[in-house]
């Protein structure tokens, strides 16, 4: 391939990671970082209102690794006690979780529409 280091902002380390990804489909440094994360942190980060730092705090300080656990902690006040959280943020997170749970098995419109268009064609 071409020398990626000629592209502004891409040095030797990034160039090597890109080459590794092209060859293997993954980057070992990224895989290693994923293994170091506490269980459930990535799932918690997917909850609206919870970013990476908050997900880590929930996992490490409250010992919670599931969406259900976050909902319980939001309802009983433990979530609001975390730094940078507060009562209003905890209530909003609980509302987001409940909204997703009420949707249940419904398919999001972004997934359903292309299928419907294909069927109707």
pLDDT tops 70 at residue 1: no
Total domains present in the chain: 2
Kindly report the CATH number assigned to the domain that includes residue 93.
1.10.150.20
Q: Does any domain span residue 121?
A: no
pLDDT tops 90 at residue 11: yes
Indicate whether 72 and 19 sit together in one domain: no
Residue-wise pLDDT tens digits, 32-58: 988 888 888 988 998 888 999 999 999
pLDDT band at 115 (very low <50, low <70, confident <90, very high): confident
Q: How far apart are CA 53 and CA 46, in angstroms?
A: 12
Find the domain containing 28 and state its range.
4-36
Indicate whether 22 and 54 sit together in one domain: no
Tell me the DSSP string of 33-66. HHHHSPTTHHHHHTSTT--HHHHHHHHHHH---S
pTM above 0.75, yes or no: no
Indicate whether 47 and 28 sit together in one domain: no
Indicate whether 69 and 24 sit together in one domain: no
pLDDT at 118: 83
Please answer whether residues 93 and 79 qualify as being in contact, where contact means their C-beta atoms are separated by less than 8 angstroms. yes
């Amino acid at each position: 391939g071409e020398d990626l280091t000629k592209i502004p902002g891409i040095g030797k380390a990034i160039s090597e990671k890109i080459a590794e990804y092209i060859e293997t489909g993954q980057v070992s440094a990224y895989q290693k970082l994923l293994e170091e994360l506490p269980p459930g942190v990535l799932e918690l980060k997917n909850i609206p209102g919870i970013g990476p730092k908050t997900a880590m705090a929930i996992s490490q300080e409250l010992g919670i690794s599931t969406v259900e656990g976050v909902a319980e902690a939001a309802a009983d006040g433990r979530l609001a006690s975390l730094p940078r959280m507060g009562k209003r943020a905890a209530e909003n997170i609980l509302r987001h979780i409940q909204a997703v749970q009420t949707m249940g098995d419904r398919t999001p419109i972004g997934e359903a529409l292309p299928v419907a268009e294909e069927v109707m064609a």
